[in-house]
Amino acid sequence: MNHNDPFLPMTLKRRLATRRDRLVTVLRRTISPPTAAPRREGPPNLLLLAVDTLRADHMGAACAAGPLTPAMDAVARDGLRFADANAPAPWTLPSFASAFTGLMPCLHGAGMRGGPRNMAQQAPARLRDGATTLAGHLAGRGYRTGAIYSNPFVGFGLAESFQDRVYRNHAAPDVAALALDWIRRRADRPFCAFVLFNDAHEPTMPPRRLYTPLLEAAGAGGYRDAQLRALARWGDESVGVPHLGRAALPLDGPAALALAAKKALYAASVRHVDESLGTILDRLEDWGLATNTLVMIWSDHGEEFLEHAAAARLWDHDPRDLRAIGHGHTQFQELLHVPWLVRGPGVPAGAVRDRPVSLCDLAPTAATWLDQPPLPLPASAPASLLGRAQPRDGAGNSSAERILLSEDIAYGPDLVGVRAGPWKLIARRRPLAPLALFHLIDDPRELRDLSAEQPQRLQELLDAAAVWNRAGGPDDDDRGEPEAAGGWEDLDDRVRRQLTELGYA
């Protein structure tokens, strides 16, 4: 073990589990030959590579050590990039459930409930029984399906739709190794593998070799090990690092330095995941699987680093007494704008789609591009609550402004985001009340509220939100509501312990 790693006290248990898994993998490799059949007939494989908490603006960015995401950049060059992909919720469980079902959270049921929410005290509800997921849809058509994931929220009804499930709180290289071992033993027939990396999620604990140049470039190279451990979770005044969620505005020198250091740890964590993505993609090439595998890379949501601290103080809606850090608390684009890349058979190389799309489109698109029957979606639901298959060639895009929604706040009163082209409304859900209206092309950072200047556009988006409200949401009793969520104490001890490790409760 590396005793120069400041995060060793936080990861010792994980590293011991990693050693065990490595040993099992080596032993299995000696007695179980690979089954990959690159020249087999039949439909393409599907490899879903998800990076939890990855902001769209970090893909393709540069840092002090060079390109931040070279592996993802290569996929974008070789395939298709959705440049304006939007998450249907600003946190993990409802967003991934929407990506796999094609349904908004108010339809699939996985997420928070009630009026003012506080996930530090209230556990979320699971995926509604009977919801069709992409994994279940493909398994019914002969695919082998497996989920290798490092965020336990996937286990709230979504992972159960996969035939094989492996949860490990491992760093990216070891999650990649588990995924490759699964593929190696399953690739003699069509497979659907979902691999989720959680390194960019709090606590951010990248290797020293990756964070050192970024900290030094940010002028934050002098932090002690205990201070870096504190910054993995946004700071701790007891070790001399201001907690960024309680920092006063404008930031003083120590808080500004802490913010720069936290961003460096986050960027280094993204780089760490990208290395593992590259390892997986290289191995697909080595095994002859790349030409017959549809690869999708995306994130469930982004992360906020005090971009809207002023709005957080004005709205004062987060019950944790934290402001403008992390995710789950607002509907701003730093949480909703996410990467979505696709590469594989039939996908045009170097294509960029600028029209706004939703992660609800991911499952319908994957099924269509695999030449499988469409994912079943409820015919009675409004179109704004359902995903749609995106065309491979870009044809068929309507000039009409599509309504995109985001919902399911985890902290505070339920907020909804409503997109129509470049226009975006953030509003309280019930009673429906606008908070701010933005034009994302003229104001991509969402700093100028145009509600007073654009009353007609404001009303149009409020009307769209009203349609969503009338269609039913997670508080309605007549929609086949899943079992109500309770407190964290109602969860299995193992699940609660896993989530506590990630700072959820």
Q: Is the dihedral of CA 455, 104, 198, 114 positive or negative?
A: positive
Buried b (16+ CB within 10 A) or exposed e, 301-336: bbbbbbbbbebbeebebbbbebbbbbbbbbbbbbbb
Q: What is the pLDDT of residue 121?
A: 86
Which run of H or E residues covers position 25? helix 8-31
The β-bridge relationship of strands 415-420 and 403-406 is antiparallel
pLDDT digits (tens, 9 = 90+) for 279-320: 999 999 999 999 999 999 999 999 999 999 999 988 888 898
The β-bridge relationship of strands 304-305 and 325-326 is antiparallel
CATH fold of 8-35+44-501 reads Alkaline Phosphatase, subunit A (3.40.720)
Query: 147 has which bridge partners?
Result: 165, 194
Q: What is the pLDDT of residue 4?
A: 83
Q: What is the pLDDT of residue 479?
A: 38
Q: What is the pTM of this model?
A: 0.93
Is residue 410 a contact partner of residue 117, using CB atoms and an 8 Å limit?
A: yes
In the chain, count H helices and then E strands.
14, 21
- Both structure tokens of 436: 């701010």
**Greatest CA separation for the chain:** 70
Give pLDDT < 50 ranges for the chain. 1, 399, 474-484
292: Cβ contacts below 8 Å, ≥ 6 apart: 38, 40, 44, 45, 345
Which run of H or E residues covers position 326? strand 325-326
pLDDT digits (tens, 9 = 90+) for 404-454: 999 999 999 889 999 999 999 999 988 899 999 999 999 999 999 999 999
487: Cβ contacts below 8 Å, ≥ 6 apart: 121, 122, 123
Q: 399: buried, middle or exposed (CB in 10 Å: 19+, 13-18, 0-12)?
A: exposed
Query: 341 has which bridge partners?
Result: 81, 297
Quickly list DSSP for 110-131. -B--SSSEETTTBPPBPPPTT-
Please state the domain extents for the chain.
8-35+44-501
Task: Compute the distance between CA of residue 297 and CA of residue 409 in angstroms, rounded to an integer.
Answer: 24
pLDDT digits (tens, 9 = 90+) for 121-153: 888 999 999 899 999 999 999 999 999 999 999
Q: What is the pLDDT of residue 317?
A: 85
Task: Compute the distance between CA of residue 103 and CA of residue 100 in angstroms, rounded to an integer.
Answer: 8
Buried b (16+ CB within 10 A) or exposed e, 107-146: bbbbbbbeeebebeebbbbbbbeebbbbbbbbbeeebbbb
Task: Say if residue 250 is preceded by a cis peptide, omega within 30 of 0.
Answer: yes
Q: What is the pLDDT of residue 33?
A: 62
Q: What is the pLDDT of residue 30?
A: 66
